[in-house]
Amino acid sequence: MASFLVVTLEKRLNKYQNTFSLVRFTLLQFILILSLIGLLSCSSAEKKQTEVVQKQAELDSIALIYDHTQADTQIDEFMMKLHKKSGFNGNVLIAKKGKIIYQNSFGWADYLHRDSLRIDSKFELASVSKPMTALAVLQLVDKGKINLEQQVSDFFPGFPFQGVTVKQLLTHRSGLPNYVYFVEKLWPNRKKGMTNLDAINLLIQHKPTRYGAPDGRFHYNNSNYMILAAIVEKISGRSFGVYMMEHVFKPAGMKNTAVLSKAVYEKIPTDVVGHDRTWRRSVVQDYLDGPVGDKGTYSTVQDMYLLDIALREGRLLDKSILDSAYIPRSDAKRGVFSYGYGWRTFTPANGQIVYHTGWWHGFKNLYVRDLKNDITIVLLSNFVNSSLNQLDDLYKILEMPILRQNAYNASGDFVVN
């Protein structure tokens, strides 16, 4: 009897073991199938993303196609005159209705070594960096990581100027002192670049007198965008340069653009040297080439055109929030000139133009986007003179409003022929 029970138990045990083995095998198969589906899904998503990137790169290459033999002769004649008679030294790209109609290089990248400029030469954008800094901030606003009404003290405890908001920084209505002048006697080593946080800490430590009340009158000020870049770093957990590369430059196809700081490099790696009014005076990089956001972005005329395309196509920011950046939000000058979020605005009758100028350490630039007529003008210069103030005939050739404040009266009416 006992042996019968043992045999019966063994048979049942074997049955259960076989059943368990079958269940275990089935579960393993199921897990394996799920894993394979996951891998295939990831692989498919990665493949799709790669295809999207490749397709966009192809479109970018097509957008940059330019046949110099088909150059607009009127623009070429104008630019030759601007170079020879007005001293323009730099690169130019002009596009209309989605096509480059003119691009060229004029003069020297470094006069001392007689190095000629190339169309892919990288220029310090100076304050033309500001629209891109504003773009980074608005991306974080769009994701709910920053609120326009947040105060600077929310990000940097101890910040001594109360009531200053992100929105006020974007529109230059913060009333803050300009760090560029304030730190001049406080930074010990003029050859060593300070960081944005260094500049903010000096503001916290020394509490200089502010220029005006928060949300008061418009006062253009580098402190605003230096602080905005620092906020981007704090919220994103990335250096400003890395954030811009990942979220602005790469998505826009800007392969020759980067944020470069003397706080990172002993000498900023660029072949284009800034010259201040005379060829004998090349501008030496110093500690003020450390802070970024207000300046410090280096780019080419072609990359700036790709930025314009990416913005128009909504690849960097949702249209509704991007359009909010173009709304005039500061004291109007001569009725039609104002400032939005990172953009200077020019709103003549039946027109909408956003633009920015830049002037820093021997570089002088102009970036214009005529949103109504689909015209892009990029002028990057490494020789500071008045040539970029003499563009009336260029605007006439392009059949767009003349972009010059002195050409309009207080009511915004054009007064100069």
CA-to-CA distance for 171 and 87, rounded, in angstroms? 33
Burial of 1 (0-12, 13-18, 19+ CB in 10 A): exposed
CA-to-CA distance for 132 and 241, rounded, in angstroms? 11
CA-to-CA distance for 114 and 107, rounded, in angstroms? 9
β 258-259/353-360 pair status: unpaired
Residue matched to tokens 């033999």: 69
- Distance (Å) of CA 265 to CA 118, 211, 256: 24, 32, 18
- Cβ atoms of 124 and 361 within 8 Å: the answer is yes
DSSP-based three-state secondary structure for 153 = helix
CA 134-138-139 angle, 5° bins: 120
Of 105, 121, 127, 330, catalytic:
127
Among residues 133, 56, 58, the alpha carbon closest in space to that of 315 is found at 56
299: annotated active-site residue: no
Q: H or E element: which one contains 115?
A: strand 115-116
The residue length of the chain stands at 417
Catalytic residues: 127
